[in-house]
Amino acid sequence: MTHLIPEEELIQRIIDGDKQLFSVLVDRYKNKVYGILRGMGASHPDAQDLAQDTFIRIYRYMPTRREGSSFSAWVYTIAVNIMRDHMRKRKPMMTADQETESVSEDTPEKRLMHKEMKREIHRQLEQLPETYRLVLLLKYTNELTYEEIATITDMSDAQVRNALYRGKKMLRRQMERKGGLSTYEAHFK
């Protein structure tokens, strides 16, 4: 039943003292926060630790969050800032072993090819400048609006649009060189 509670009501109930409900918020956002952290270059164990740090910070600062603003944008802003702090403290651990979703294709060969292409896309994403990589992940993995991405990245809407355009263009060129353009187009159209 708690998964049906509207987000703003859930947040207010947590702030008012119903601390057990925080686990509902964690369940709603844990995969997306983890995905952002992995997409920014964190290894699996680091992404787990950084996600935990993100939720600790969310819990601590939830009462000071500006009411009425996008909660999801606020969550992603915290995750991105924690990752940036982590990257400043130590060199990022880039991995090509990105977890992939299972694909319901006809043959094992097709599933393997799709999995390899997704890994290649993630490898190519890692080669993009951080700004391009981040806006692409926020837009296409978490389906955020330009305004929410602008809030998270401290960019204007125009800068977000520009970074998305340039990031897609750069990724497209990289994929053309690798010969995997069709899979790229399926993911980033």
Q: 121-148 pLDDT, tens per residue?
A: 777 777 888 888 888 888 877 778 888 8
Cβ contacts of residue 43 below 8 Å, gap of 6+? 93, 95
Residue 181: the pLDDT is 56
* AA identity, residue 122: H
Give buried/exposed letters for 117-132 (b at 16+ CB in 10 A, else e): bbebbbbbbbebeebb
140-143: long-range contacts at Cβ-Cβ below 8 A with a sequence spacing of 24 or more?
A: 140/187, 140/188, 141/32, 141/35, 141/36, 141/39, 142/32, 142/35, 142/36, 142/72, 142/76
* AA identity, residue 111: R
* AA identity, residue 31: N
Distance CA 149, CA 127 (A): 21
Between 184 and 143, whose confidence is greater? Answer: 143
Alpha-carbon Rg of the chain, whole angstroms? 18
Distance CA 37, CA 84 (A): 10
Residues 35-57: what's their mean pLDDT? Answer: 90
Distance CA 61, CA 7 (A): 16
For 145-174, what is each residue's pLDDT tens digit? 888 888 888 889 899 999 989 988 888 888
Percentage of the chain exceeding pLDDT 90: 19
For the domain spanning 1-89, the CATH number is 1.10.1740.10
**In CATH, what is the architecture of 109-188?**
Orthogonal Bundle (1.10)
Distance CA 48, CA 102 (A): 21
Residues 64-92: what's their mean pLDDT? Answer: 82
Q: Which parts of 62-129 fold into alpha helices (H)?
A: 71-89, 108-127
H or E segment and range at residue 150: helix 146-153
Residue 177: the pLDDT is 77
Q: Alpha carbon of 52 to those of 81, 121, 153: distances in Å? A: 13, 27, 21
CATH 1.10.10.10 residue spans of the chain: 109-188
Distance CA 76, CA 31 (A): 12
pTM equals 0.60
CATH 1.10.1740.10 residue spans of the chain: 1-89
